[in-house]
Amino acid sequence: MEHTKGPWMMSHQDPWASKAIIFDESMPEGRKARLMKKIAEVEITNVNIIDTEGLANAHLIAAAPDLLEAAEKAARGAHHPACPIATGKGQTTVTHDDCTCHVGIARTAIEKAKPIC
């Protein structure tokens, strides 16, 4: 299973719109208006009051491809010097499950974003 490649953008021009639309921005410029692929729709108003949490969620969803790319790069990086993987201390066999630094956090985020089907 693959996600729609980025970049993704959020459309929310009208301050009274009830939803923010996240769409695929990778279309050729002249075709965007007709062929934009909708990725997600997020409710951003509650009884005509802007839901700042909903708006923040829409921004986070729009940034997802960039965040996934950053996590993938971090997961390939060097472990923090204090991480059990880097030190090898405390256990006879150190596995990636023992990682406590940014590499382990990035791998966990990637597993959430890319479930095995």
pLDDT of residue 27: 59
33: its two tokens: 């208006």
Average pLDDT over residues 69-97: 75
pLDDT of residue 21: 85
The answer to whether the beta carbons of residues 38 and 25 sit under 8 Å apart is no
Percentage of residues in the chain having pLDDT higher than 90: 12
Average pLDDT over residues 62-71: 92
pLDDT at position 91 over 60: no
Q: Which has the higher per-residue pLDDT, 44 or 27?
A: 44
- Computed over every residue of the chain, the mean pLDDT equals 77
Q: Which has the higher per-residue pLDDT, 34 or 2?
A: 2
The DSSP annotation for 39-65 comes to: EEEEE-EETTEE-HHHHHHHHHHHTHH
The answer to whether the beta carbons of residues 23 and 65 sit under 8 Å apart is no
